[in-house]
């Protein structure tokens, strides 16, 4: 929640940024000298979430929760899918302590995967949404969130350097 509060001042800046995007020729509206210029909000074209867990049913329930939350917050959902087979981490040992090499046992740890995609999030939306679903992550589930941020070309790379 703190994170969300921190992003609150950015909310005004998005509109300024939107106007720049629509009419690129107009300069960004200059704010008064006392107030520092609002930091433009970040833009994320894609948020890709990978879930790992031991129980596929838990992953499924969690995916349902995350997509429902995205629906309520008005976030565009992408493809949500899971591979059919789990990853098996197998270890083969001798069944007996000493000899009898023909008789072995196998222990295995299964890791089930599940993927979710969300598109077109502003920085404050992404922080809010990601923190909300991260806080409600059930036990025994690991998450990887890849964020694709959109940026403009830096000023010094727009024109070829003058002096060579």
Q: How far apart are CA 145 and CA 70, in angstroms?
A: 15
Contact 109, 58 (CB under 8 A): no
Minimal distance, residue 101 CB to another protein, in Å: 16
Q: Which residues from 95-124 bind another protein, rule CB under 8 A?
A: 95-97, 105, 109-111, 120-122, 124
CB 21 within 8 A of CB 152: no
> Considering the rule CB under 8 A, would residue 18 count as an interface residue with another protein?
yes
Between CA 105 and CA 11 the distance in angstroms is 59
Q: How far is the CB of 37 from another protein (least distance, A)?
A: 17
Q: Counting Cβ atoms within 10 Å, is residue 39 exposed (0-12), middle (13-18) or buried (19+)?
A: exposed
Select from 30-38, 77-85, 152-160 the region that touches another protein (CB under 8 A): 152-160
158 binds another protein (CB under 8 A): yes
Count the Cβ atoms, other than its own, within 10 Å of residue 43: 18
Q: How far is the CB of 121 from another protein (least distance, A)?
A: 7
Determine, following the binding rule CB under 8 A, whether residue 150 of this chain makes contact with another protein: yes
- How far apart are CB 61 and another protein at their closest, in Å? 5
- Closest to another protein by CB, 34 or 151: 151
Q: Which residues contact 10 (CB under 8 A, 6 or more apart)?
A: 38, 39, 41, 123, 124
Which among 29-37, 64-72, 77-85 is the span making contact with another protein, rule CB under 8 A? 64-72
> Six-digit token pair at 108?
């295995």
Q: Mapping DSSP to helix (H, G, I), strand (E, B) and coil, where does residue 61 land?
A: helix
Per CB under 8 A, which of residues 29..58 are in contact with another protein?
Answer: 41, 43, 45, 52-55, 58
Number of residues that bind another protein (CB under 8 A): 76
């Amino acid at each position: 929640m703190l994170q969300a509060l921190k992003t609150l001042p950015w909310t005004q800046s998005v509109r300024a940024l939107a106007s720049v995007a629509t009419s690129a020729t107009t300069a960004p509206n200059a704010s008064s000298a006392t107030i520092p210029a609002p930091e433009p909000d970040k833009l994320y074209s894609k948020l890709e979430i990978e879930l790992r867990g031991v129980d596929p049913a838990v992953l499924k329930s969690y995916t349902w929760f995350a997509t429902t939350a995205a629906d309520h917050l008005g976030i565009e959902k992408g493809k949500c899918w899971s591979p059919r087979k789990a990853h098996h981490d197998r270890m083969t040992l001798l069944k007996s302590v000493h000899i009898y090499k023909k008789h072995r046992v196998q222990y295995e740890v299964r890791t089930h995967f599940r993927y979710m995609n969300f598109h077109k999030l502003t920085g404050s939306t992404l922080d809010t949404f990601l923190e909300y679903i991260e806080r409600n992550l059930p036990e025994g589930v690991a998450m990887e969130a890849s964020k694709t941020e959109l940026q403009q070309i830096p000023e010094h790379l727009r024109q070829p350097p003058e002096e060579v």
